[in-house]
């Protein structure tokens, strides 16, 4: 009976969300002043694409921005839920506590081809070469915006910016100016809480963040898939000579489940970081230390020993910007990275020293034209030297028209598991077992991408954009086919092959009234696979996203989004060590949020639904069927 009541409640909630825009269109109130808070106008400047603040129309790469207003209105509990609406991104929900994100057809389990930054700090997990989204020690309310670059960015960011960069930029103490408490709970035993406090007094500012997350499996209500607590703090001081020094640290601790190869595995982990930044005019210095201590159940069925991983990463970077008159901006910098890894999955403890240098020059011969060229040189102890060039031309004949042509090359170095994994996997009788073996003598993965972009932004209420791309990558690193020559099957990491792809993305934003906004995008991609074992894996060709935002003077606000993802063909490892071809069918998912501010600006009551209509579907063949997560909550500002 309670399930029936809940379904009726969710259905009613969905109906309200869908009907509100049409009801209000018939009797719309007088239009209030057009403000960014009401209609979430596009961010005007970005920093990730060129490592310096610049107009988004003059950015040298394909970039999208998710604002703090959009984050709040979405009702999302995790960053991957937000990223699903970004054109060209592939977002895969493996389970209630596991998501994977990449760009333009390169998504996979343990996805390792997109660099994720938090305020410029790399969260790259050098052990396997990717990012664990649920291990980021931040809460949604502290995020100011997310900048997503869908272009190879090794020319500025190095080895891991293979398909692009996601930069999560948090709010400064001046932006917070007070406190905010948020509590949200609902289906799947979901419980989310966050506390953000910040302020600035004179030349000193501070920010304190605390949070918890808990939720069960979609398929098994008795299994807790995520239970973590986190915190971070930040303090900065401005000096009389305009220098700024900031210090911050954060930690997240708890348990999450992640699908490693064949099934979900429970991890108990503590990850932490400390970070220092110094800004002195055009000179910037950043140093950070990432640390992780993880223990998990055996990665493979039949395994007897727990897996232990301990890693430390120290990273130091210096950058200098030089303005050479009105026509030239020159940026150069250098980085040093030191890694130590200990794990029961690799042969012994390993250390790594990585160094790099880069420069970028932007030349503006006339106000309408920007020419940009740059290159980075990275040295890896096993791979050697990699060169990553990039060039762009931006032409803006009028303030409302922008044309961009760009080409770039990027690479991904082998991870520690690629080079050093050494594991014996039990197999069903009569086979005694299988060995997974790393290969120190691997080449880096390489990609070259060509892009053409056009943006039309004639009025504040309409924006249209198209981005066309083609790329080729080679030396893809993965486990090859099993070798049975010695009697015991052995799988080694190898450079398998290459692929070519092309596609385009269409984006449109429309604001028919100052209290209503619609956004839609369509992504097409076609990939010719010569890089997997069976050469049959292929990403979805078609993806469509739609979202709408509504904000009324009465205190009522609502959002509704829908995402369609086409069929995906996979090559999946089997318990016997070989591969089989399977697929995940095309699917559509809807999310929604309804909020009310009862006459007091510091209090908000809301209800939200992830997978609103409970369209049970698989996004990864060995993952969970994605279910609904309906929640309700409140936020209080002071």
User: CA nearest 115: which of 67, 82, 147?
Assistant: 147
d(CA 165, CA 102): 9
By the 8 A CB rule, do 222 and 92 touch? no
| Mean pLDDT, 10 residues at a time, the chain of 638 residues | 38 38 35 46 80 85 92 92 94 93 91 93 88 93 95 91 95 93 94 96 96 92 91 95 94 93 88 97 96 88 81 96 87 96 88 96 93 96 95 93 95 93 78 83 96 89 93 92 80 92 96 90 96 92 96 90 96 81 95 89 92 93 93 94
Quote the domain boundaries for residue 118.
Answer: 2-637
The pLDDT of residue 487 is: 74
Taking the model in full, what pTM does it have?
0.91
Strand order in the sheet with 422-425: 422-425, 434-437, 490-495, 477-479
Neighbouring CB atoms inside 10 A of 528's CB total 13
By the 8 A CB rule, do 400 and 458 touch? yes
Sign of CA dihedral 172, 175, 117, 194: positive
Work out how many domains the chain is built from and give that number: 1
Q: What is the 3-state secondary structure (H, E, C) of 223-251?
A: CEEEEEEEEEEEEEEECCCCCEEEEEEEE
Q: Residue 83's domain is classified under what CATH number? A: 2.40.170.20
Side-chain-side CA neighbours of residue 32 (13 Å): 13
d(CA 235, CA 215): 32
The pLDDT of residue 430 is: 67
Q: Is the peptide bond before 138 cis (omega within 30 degrees of 0)?
A: no
d(CA 75, CA 592): 7
The pLDDT of residue 43 is: 66
Q: Beta strand 115-118 with 165-170: parallel, antiparallel or unpaired?
A: parallel
Distance of CA 583 to the CA centre of its chain: 24
Side-chain-side CA neighbours of residue 79 (13 Å): 30
User: CA nearest 500: which of 471, 478, 474, 476?
Assistant: 471
The pLDDT of residue 25 is: 34
């Amino acid at each position: 009976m309670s399930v029936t009541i809940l379904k009726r409640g969710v259905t009613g909630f969905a109906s309200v969300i869908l009907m509100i825009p049409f009801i209000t269109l018939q009797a719309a109130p007088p239009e209030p002043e057009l403000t960014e808070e009401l209609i979430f106008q596009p961010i005007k400047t970005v920093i990730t694409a060129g490592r310096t603040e610049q107009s988004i129309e003059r950015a040298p790469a394909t970039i999208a921005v998710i604002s703090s207003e959009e984050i709040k209105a979405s009702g999302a509990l995790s960053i991957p839920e937000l990223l699903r609406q970004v054109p060209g991104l592939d977002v895969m929900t493996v389970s209630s506590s596991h998501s994977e994100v990449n760009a333009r057809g390169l998504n996979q389990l343990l996805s390792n081809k997109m660099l994720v930054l938090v305020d410029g700090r790399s969260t790259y997990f050098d052990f396997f070469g990717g990012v664990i989204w649920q291990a980021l020690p931040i809460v949604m309310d502290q995020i100011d915006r997310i900048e997503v670059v869908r272009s190879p960015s090794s020319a500025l960011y190095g080895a891991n910016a293979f398909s692009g960069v996601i930069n999560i930029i948090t709010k400064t103490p001046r932006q917070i100016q007070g406190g905010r408490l948020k509590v949200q709970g609902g289906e799947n035993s979901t419980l989310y809480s966050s506390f953000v406090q910040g302020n600035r007094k004179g030349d000193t500012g501070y920010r304190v963040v605390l949070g918890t997350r808990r939720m069960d499996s979609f398929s098994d209500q008795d299994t807790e898939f995520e239970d973590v607590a986190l915190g971070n703090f930040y303090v900065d001081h401005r000096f009389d000579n305009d220098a700024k020094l900031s210090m911050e640290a954060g930690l997240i601790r708890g348990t999450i489940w992640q699908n490693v190869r064949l099934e979900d595995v429970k991890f108990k982990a503590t990850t932490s970081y400390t970070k220092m930044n110094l800004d002195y005019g055009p000179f910037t210095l950043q140093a950070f230390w990432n640390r992780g201590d993880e223990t998990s159940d055996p990665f493979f069925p039949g395994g007897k020993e727990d897996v232990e991983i301990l890693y430390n990463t120290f990273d130091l970077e210096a950058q200098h910007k030089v303005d050479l008159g009105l026509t030239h901006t020159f940026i150069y910098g250098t980085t040093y990275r030191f890694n130590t890894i200990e794990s029961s999955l690799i042969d012994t403890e390993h250390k790594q020293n990585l160094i790099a240098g880069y420069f970028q020059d932007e030349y503006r011969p006339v106000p309408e034209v920007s020419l940009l060229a740059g290159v980075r040189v990275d040295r890896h102890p096993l791979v050697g030297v990699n060169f990553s060039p990039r060039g762009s031309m931006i032409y803006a004949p009028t303030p409302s028209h922008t044309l961009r042509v760009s080409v770039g090359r990027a690479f991904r170095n082998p991870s520690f598991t690629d080079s050093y994994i050494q594991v014996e996997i039990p197999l069903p009788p009569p086979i005694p077992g299988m060995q997974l073996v790393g290969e120190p003598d691997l080449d880096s993965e390489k990609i070259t991408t060509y892009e053409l972009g056009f943006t039309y932004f004639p009025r504040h209420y309409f924006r249209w954009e198209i981005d066309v791309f083609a790329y080729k990558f080679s030396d893809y690193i993965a486990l090859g086919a099993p070798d049975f020559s010695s009697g015991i099957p052995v799988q080694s990491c190898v450079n398998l092959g290459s692929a070519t792809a092309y596609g385009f993305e269409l984006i449109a934003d429309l604001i028919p009234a100052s209290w209503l906004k619609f956004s839609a995008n369509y992504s097409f991609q076609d990939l010719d696979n010569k890089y997997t074992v069976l050469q049959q894996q292929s990403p979805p060709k078609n993806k469509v996203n739609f979202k709408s935002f509504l904000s009324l003077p009465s205190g009522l606000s609502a959002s509704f989004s829908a995402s369609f993802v086409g069929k995906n063909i996979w090559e999946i490892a089997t318990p016997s060590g070989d591969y089989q071809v399977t697929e995940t069918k095309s699917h559509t998912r809807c999310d929604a949020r309804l909020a009310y501010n009862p006459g007091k600006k510091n209090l908000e009551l809301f209800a939200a639904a992830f997978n609103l209509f409970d369209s049970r579907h698989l996004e990864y063949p060995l993952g969970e069927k994605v279910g609904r997560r309906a929640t309700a909550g409140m936020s209080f500002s002071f």
